[in-house]
Structure formats: C-alpha cells, structure tokens
Amino acid sequence: MGNLVAKAMTVGAVLAASSIARKATDGTWKFVTGNDSPTNPEDPDIDFKEAVAFAVLSGALVGLARMLANRESTKVIAKASGKSPKQIADETN
C-alpha cells in the first residue's frame, strides 16, 4: 500500500473520529447539564466556567478519538502491507 494511500486513510479516519467525538461531546454536555452545548464558547455572554468546562470536555474527547483512530488505522495499514505498526507510523508521520 502506498505511503500516500496510508496517509489519506489515516486522515479520513481522524476526520471521521473528530466528527463522532463532536457529536459525543454535544450529547454528553446535554446529558450532564440539561442544556445544549455552547455554539461558540468564546462568546463573552457565555459564563466563563461553562466555557472552560466545555473546552476541557471537547478537547479531551476529540483528542482521545483522534488518537484511537490514528492507532487503529496504523494497525489496519500495517496488517494490509505486511509491515510493523511502528514502520507505518514512521512513514506516515
């Protein structure tokens, strides 16, 4: 499998994971607070504590989803190409 294809697959997986994480963030926020998630946490009309809490939650979930997607796509690409995951990670990064 070509290096370009591997990078494209990894980017696609990361983008999909980020989108799913955003939806999970919105759902978690609504479940915990009972309110919709802030559309723009930088808006001065939103309470500072709420903006910080949302930033921490969304950053953690998006970061975790991206890391998991990257790891799993590396495993799939490594298996398909017969290389070790470390070799694939070194080639795509």
Helix axes 85-92, 48-81, angle to 10 degrees: 120
For the cut 70, the answer to whether the pLDDT of residue 92 exceeds it is: no
Q: How far apart are CA 58 and CA 66, in angstroms?
A: 12
**Mean of pLDDT over the chain:** 84
- pLDDT of 56 reads 92
Kindly report the backbone phi and psi dihedral angles of residue 2, in degrees, each rounded to the nearest multiple of 5, phi listed first: -70, 155
* Claim: this prediction has a pTM higher than 0.85: no
